[in-house]
Structure 1
Amino acid sequence: MPKGIMVVQSSPSDPSKEDEYNDWYDNTHLPEVLAVPGFVSARRYKVLGGAGPSQHAYLAVYELEADDLTAPVKELRARSASGGTTKSDLPPLGPPPVVTIYELLD
């Protein structure tokens, strides 16, 4: 079965809401993402030394395993569009998140 990762760079739009952002991400968003078949694990990171004005402060790395590595991402988007995931109560994120999918090379 193909394996890969999905890398998501993001930041809260309001730095004073960073604790709320992290609480939502860790305790609501990650469990909902990991409930989607094909997402097998996740880890989050914070940029060392603080983010610059055009740089996202956080990075999430999700491990994927699926015959079609885009299928779990499509399912997550479908769940989000239908209200099957919990949106943050915070204002919209600053710069839009950057999402990239990588396939594991053999």
Structure 2
Amino acid sequence: MAKTLLLVSTTPASADVEAEYHRWYEEVHVPELKAAIPSITVVNRYRLHPAPGDEAAPPRYLAVYELDEDDAGAATAALFAALPGTTPSDTIDLTGRPPTMEFYSHL
């Protein structure tokens, strides 16, 4: 069972780059983070289903990282230490619907 969860919500910058966004996330970003942070055991991605009346909103995606790490503070520090060494992507919306990131500890 995961001891810490990292939830990251992102939106592609536009419909034109959505396929590249998914390719980068799956083939570049997730492998780089897993290599840099060995306590990441599983990564699952999900698509948000819009609420009624909000169907025109851009797609939002959630990545759930499971970590075998008791200390959420240490997991946070490891992530922020690893990010500068990862490959950035201009396919992520950083202004209109910027990414969100939350760490949760198992109770």
| Counterparts of 1:47 and 1:91, CA distance in 2 | 16
* TM-superposed deviation, 1:29: 0.4
- Residue equivalent to 1:95: 97
| Counterpart for residue 4 of structure 2 | 4
CA distance in 1, matches of 2:30, 2:73: 18
Equivalences for residues 61-100 of structure 1 within 5 A:
61-81=64-84, 84-90=85-91, 92-93=93-94, 94-100=96-102
Separation in structure 1 between the aligned mates of residue 55 and residue 29 of structure 2, nearest angstrom: 22
Q: CA RMSD in A?
A: 2.4
Structure 2 letter corresponding to 1:45: Y
Q: Relative to 1, partners in 2 of residues 1:44 and 1:25: Cα closer, same or farther, differing over 3 Å?
A: same
Q: Distance in 1 between matches of 2:60 and 2:4?
A: 23
The Cα shift of 1:92 comes to 4.8
What is the TM-score of this pair, normalised by structure 2? Answer: 0.78
Contact 1:3–1:103 (Cα < 8 Å) also in 2: yes
* Structure 1 portions without partners, runs of 5+: none
Secondary structure of the structure 2 residue equivalent to 1:30: helix
Q: Give the partner amino acid of 1:48.
A: H
Q: Conserved in 2, the CA contact under 8 Å of 1:10 and 1:58?
A: yes
